[in-house]
Structure formats: structure tokens, C-alpha cells
Amino acid sequence: MNEEKDILELARQEGNAFRTPEGYFDSLEDRVMARIAAETAQTPARRPVWSVLKPALTLAAMFALIFGMGYGVLSLTHTLGRDANVAATEYASAEEEMITPASLINYYQTEPAEEPEIDEETLINYLASELSFADLAEIYAQAN
Amino acid sequence: MTDQEILQLYRSGERDKAFRALVASYKERLYWHIRRMVLDHDDTDDCLQNTFVKAWQSLDRFRGDAQLFTWLYRIATNESLTFLSRQQTRGGHLELEAAGRLSTDPWFDGDQLQLALHRSIAKLPPKQKAVFNLRYFDEMPYEKIAQVLETSEGSLKASYHHAYEKVKAWMKEEMDAKY
């Protein structure tokens, strides 16, 4: 055994150089058990199923709400679209009744219906009176 | 009480009684193993209590394919290594500072040779320190150390040999400087 190895062997032979406070080991079981009890008490009880599921259910409800709102908006848009189609159809049928270049030509080529004439006396009476245009129209209607 | 009796008692429902028996059986061995790793008594006390708390928390899952002795040593070693690595993370090699404070530690009685020994061991990398301590102080067979540290016997032998040579050299250096 060389000199260097003797250093380690010598140190080993001297034994344990560390000490502990008086009675340290005597109370260790109690302290360990007390700490385990304290840590067990601090550990929150297992959460009930409801509290575990609550966040997931809230998320699902929010998703359903957003989906519902989106569906509602889309449905409404679709209805408006359908109304627009109806309106377009109505417009098309109305358009058929509208004046077209052909109908205008027909109108001018057709003999105009004989317009009822206002006789001179009626006209003088009107001018002499203070009849309104509405009164005149009524008189005119009566005359015809 | 043997390991088997402790486990039987625990499985029969007498958990507190069994655990008290387990602490009583292993408290001193584990204390000294941790103390040689972290050096300071208060730090050792923290690590030892953490070791037993973790053992309590996982004793239900202890399958019994390893010895209780090996399993507890593994937890204690991991606690010590975690403590040392946390110290290194916080800055510096605090285990070297702790070794430096040994001469004024009220719970250290060693002479210059002992101081040189523990200062030299403190210079080893933490895992190599665990190998050195388990073999040098506890005289644990390599087979057991391999189970505790979950590594191969071959690499342990090499690691211990290197650690032994380094510690010897550092001790000699320190002693030569003093005398």
C-alpha cells in the first residue's frame, strides 16, 4: 500500500467526523409523520367530477351559443336572399307590364280615343268662379 | 423488523405503524449517506425528510422487485443530487463553500485529515461523489450501488477508481500545503 493510499485509509480509520444535535434521531419519526400529516392536509381533496367537467362544459356551451348565433345569422341571410328572389320575380312580371319601346310605338300608332271636350260655357264659368282645380275636375267628370 | 415484515404490516392496513418502523430502520443509514453528500446538518435534515415523504407517497406503488433498502437509497441519493444541482443552478459551487465552512461547523469534529478528505470529495462531480461515498464510507458492493444508481457495475468501478485517485491527489496536495 503506497503512501497516497494510506491517506485515504487513515481518514477512514478515524471514523465519522460528523455529528448531529443531541436527540436528533430520537424525534425523527414523529417529525416525519407530522410533516406527512401536514402535507396530506394541505393537499387539496380530490376535485368533484362537476368541478373537473365545468370548464369543458362551459366551453361546449359557448361553442353551442356561437354556433347557434352563426346559424341564426345564416338562416336570416338565406331568408333575405329568398325574399330578394321573390322581389326579382315580381319585378320581372311588373316589368312585363311596363312601357317598352314597342308598346310606346303601339300607343302612338293607335287612334287616340276621342277626348271629351270642355265646352266654352263651362270654361267661362270656371274662369269667372273661384273654383279650385279639384272642383273643376268634378264638374268635368259630371259633364262626361 | 425486516423489510418484508414492514411491507406486510403496511399492506395489512397498518400504514402509520409500518412507516414508523421503516423510518426507524433506515433513518441513520440514510442520514449519513445524505450528510456526506450535502455536508450541512440542516440541509441533510431537509433532504432526509423529503426522502421519507416521497417514500410514503409512493410506497403503495413499491412492487417489491427491488429491495426496500435499494429503493430508499435511490430516493435519498436523488434528493441529494437534486439539492446539489439546485445549489449549482443558483450560482457557484455551493457544496465547495459548504466544504469550506466545515472547519467552523459546530456539527463537524474532524481534524485536518478529515477536512482535507471532505473538501476533496466536495470537488467531485455530484454523481461521482455518490459512487465514491457509497463505496468508500458505506462499503456497499458494486452490485448494490448499480441498483441504487441504476447503472452498470463496469462503469461504476471505473468511476470509483477515478474518484479515488482524484480524492487522494487533492488530499495529498492539501496536506502537503499545510505541513
Torsion of CA A99, A101, A106, A107, to 10 degrees: 50
- Of A51 and B107, the structure prediction assigns the larger pLDDT to B107
Calculate the CA B7 to chain-centre distance: 23
| Alpha helices (H) in B39-105, listed in sequence order | 41-58, 68-89, 94-100
Mutate which of A2, A7, A42 to test chain B, going by most B C-beta atoms within 10 A?
A7
CB < 8 Å to A39, chain B:
53
Residue A4 pLDDT > 50, yes or no? Answer: no
Mean pLDDT of chain A: 76
Whether B110 has its CB under 8 Å from any CB of chain A: the answer is yes
What separation in angstroms does the CA of B147 have from each of B16, B20, B153? 27, 25, 9
What separation in angstroms does the CA of B157 have from each of A103, B33, B135, B153, B154? 114, 19, 10, 6, 5
- Of A38 and A51, the structure prediction assigns the larger pLDDT to A38
| pLDDT for res A135 | 73
CB < 8 Å to B52, chain A:
32, 36
B153 vs B135: CA distance, rounded Å: 12
CB < 8 Å to A31, chain B:
49
pLDDT exceeding 90 applies to what percent of chain A?
15
| pLDDT for res A48 | 61
Name residue B106's amino acid: P
Contact (Cβ atoms closer than 8 angstroms) between residue B39 and residue B95: yes
Q: How many other CB atoms are found less than 10 A from the CB of residue A139?
A: 16
| pLDDT for res B155 | 94
A11 vs A92: CA distance, rounded Å: 112
Report the DSSP beta bridge partners of residue A18. Answer: B108
Is the CB of A20 less than 8 angstroms away from the CB of B41? yes
Return the SS3 of B170.
helix
| pLDDT for res B19 | 93
Closest-CA distance of chain A to residue B130, Å: 17
Q: Which residue, chain included where needed, has cell 456539527?
A: B107
Return the sign of the alpha-carbon dihedral for residues A42, A47, A51, A56. positive
Per-window interface: B 3-42 vs A, CB < 8 A: 16, 19-20, 23-24, 27-28, 31-32, 35-36, 41
User: Domains plus CATH for chain B?
Assistant: 3-178 (1.10.1740.10)
Residue A1 pLDDT > 80, yes or no? Answer: no
ipTM of the prediction: 0.84
CB < 8 Å to A12, chain B:
136-137
Is the CB of B171 less than 8 angstroms away from the CB of A29? no
Mean pLDDT of A95-102: 68
Residue B164 pLDDT > 80, yes or no? Answer: yes
Is the CB of B167 less than 8 angstroms away from the CB of A8? yes
Torsion of CA B70, B73, B77, B79, to 10 degrees: 120
CB < 8 Å to A21, chain B:
41, 107
Name residue A53's amino acid: L
Mean pLDDT of B71-93: 86
Closest C-alpha among B161, B100, B108 to residue B136: B161
**Cell numbers describing residue A122:** 263651362
**Cell numbers describing residue B28:** 441513520
Whether B139 has its CB under 8 Å from any CB of chain A: the answer is no
B67 vs B148: CA distance, rounded Å: 10
Is the CB of A32 less than 8 angstroms away from the CB of B49? yes
Residue A3 pLDDT > 90, yes or no? Answer: no
CB < 8 Å to B169, chain A:
4
Residue A79 pLDDT > 70, yes or no? Answer: no
Return the SS3 of B108.
strand
Mean pLDDT of A21-46: 86
Residue A129 pLDDT > 90, yes or no? Answer: no
